[in-house]
Amino acid sequence: MPGLKRTVHLAKSFRSAVNRQGLRAVPAIVKKFLLSTRLGNRFAMRGVSGKVMKAAEIPHYTRTYKVDLPEGYPAKSVEVTLTVPAIPPRPHLEFADHVMDADGRATDLVLASAMGGFGLSHDLGRSWKYVKVGPAADKRVVHVKRIAPDQYLLQVTERIPDRSAAREIDILVVDEAGAVLAANKLPASPWHGCRSVDVADGTLMFAEYPHEIPDAKPNQRDSSRVWRSRDLGRSWEVVFEIKDVRHFHFLQARPGKPKEWWLTSGDGLEESRIWVSKDDGKSWRDVTAAYSTMIPLDGAQYPKTLFRLTDLCWAGDEVAWGTDDFLYAIKGAPMGSRMFRSPCADMLVPSVVGRSKWQIRNMVDVGDFFFILTQGSNKTDATMEEKMPGVFLMPKRTPSDAPALVHLFDVDVHSTVRTGFTYSRAGRAAKDGTFFTYRGSTDAFPTGHKMLRWDVKYL
């Protein structure tokens, strides 16, 4: 009776979606439901054999930007080429992760999520293989993480999750042939992007990003938790749980520092915090606990949301991050997201690096610099120019007589819809100047896969 069971589930999910979104949303809901049917699934997967796909069936989109850099920078100019990888349109792939090696260096392996399975490239995005996963045949693979040689951690949900039901997620470990090595159904929430899951020295952890009903009060929320596995996803335990934050944004092991992990949360004043564990998640220290809701800095009063972030990077003994907040509540300085630096210590002491146009989503290590990627404007009346995400460059070593943050260019948006651009999904570092990010369907180019290849040259 699997067909009847699926029909009942779809009907229940449809009613829940209409109740949440209202009758005006019915056409969009119907379209989404039709695409989730078996017929839609077969259409989406047509031509997929599991073999490496090389033929391009979508336009080859590419654009190059060349920008002169300020005096005092370790390069005179930078050339950035954006490309949507030339792969067939089906299945539709979404960037999931650019794999790092044990020493924190980017590799040639790039991962993508899809309906019913996942994609991978062993040659830095030049060719792709689609891997079907049996238990995910009628479901959505939301995230993919390589956790060991030929072992991939998949987070799987229903094509249209029932948000009114108790949270539940499928966590699979599979190999490159699609064989399931381990399967768990956890009473857990998805993690956020690819910066909220990591593995280091045999410890695997992810941090939850619970779904929330609009205008929910704290007592109506699910708690936010950190899950840990010591056996590469075969079994799981909760090692940290907190009820007074909306969700976690970031959880990563610090390269070169055994057992050290950094965790961040958001979104409000009291919810924007950073924790550090130095024992693989057994205990956590809030390195922002000393601060109240307002923080004096450079003659201004900054809200504690300066610790609201979706990405951070380490440079030696310092940590740098950009705010996933426009800092509307700042007093004595212009509003706008900021880049900050601080020594890595038991209490962070932030200093301002520079201001960005919109909220910062990702930082990517590319040679002597970090690439800083923002979302578009979140104003309801934003102009087309304001909707464009920004790209910035920050030297790893702050120059003494040059700006510490420089704007390179804004990314085209081929839609009237506001965009989060990378939606917090990007590689941590470049391989020979190449890295990958997620992209909204109409960001940078009019169509194509939800994936963007960046090729960087310093001149």
What pLDDT, in 10s, does the model give residues 43-64?
Answer: 433 333 344 444 344 567 999 9
Distance CA 453, CA 253 (A): 25
In this structure, how many other beta carbons lie within 10 angstroms of the beta carbon of residue 53?
Answer: 22
Distance CA 259, CA 69 (A): 38
Query: Above 80 in pLDDT, residue 190?
Result: yes
pLDDT confidence band for 42 (50 / 70 / 90): very low
pTM: 0.88
In this prediction, residue 235 carries a pLDDT of 98
SS3 of residue 65 by DSSP: strand
- Cis ω for the linkage preceding 91 (within 30 of 0): yes
Distance CA 333, CA 303 (A): 12
Backbone angles phi, psi at 334, to 5 degrees: -60, 145
SS3 of residue 447 by DSSP: coil
CA torsion, ordered 130, 131, 134, 139, to nearest 10 deg: -50
pLDDT confidence band for 222 (50 / 70 / 90): confident
- Strand segments (E) across 254-317: 261-266, 273-277, 285-286, 294-297, 300-303, 312-315
Backbone angles phi, psi at 112, to 5 degrees: -140, 150
Residues 94/437, Cβ–Cβ less than 8 Å: no
- Token pair recorded at residue 277: 């564990």
> Quick one: how far is CA 270 from the chain centroid?
23
Query: Above 90 in pLDDT, residue 1?
Result: no
Closest listed residue to residue 274, CA positions, set 371, 348, 364, 195: 348
- The average pLDDT across 360-373 equals 98
- Token pair recorded at residue 251: 């959880």
- Token pair recorded at residue 137: 């045949």
Residues 162/182, Cβ–Cβ less than 8 Å: no
% helix, strand, coil for the chain, step of 5 = 10, 40, 50
Report the side by side order of strands in the sheet with 237-242: 197-200, 203-207, 224-229, 237-242
In this prediction, residue 295 carries a pLDDT of 95
In this predicted model, what pLDDT tens digit does every residue of 298-348 receive, in sequence order? 999 999 999 999 999 999 999 999 999 999 999 999 999 999 999 999 999
- The average pLDDT across 363-369 equals 97
In this prediction, residue 46 carries a pLDDT of 36
pLDDT confidence band for 379 (50 / 70 / 90): confident
In this prediction, residue 87 carries a pLDDT of 83
Query: Above 90 in pLDDT, residue 9?
Result: no
The chain-wide mean pLDDT, for the chain, equals: 89
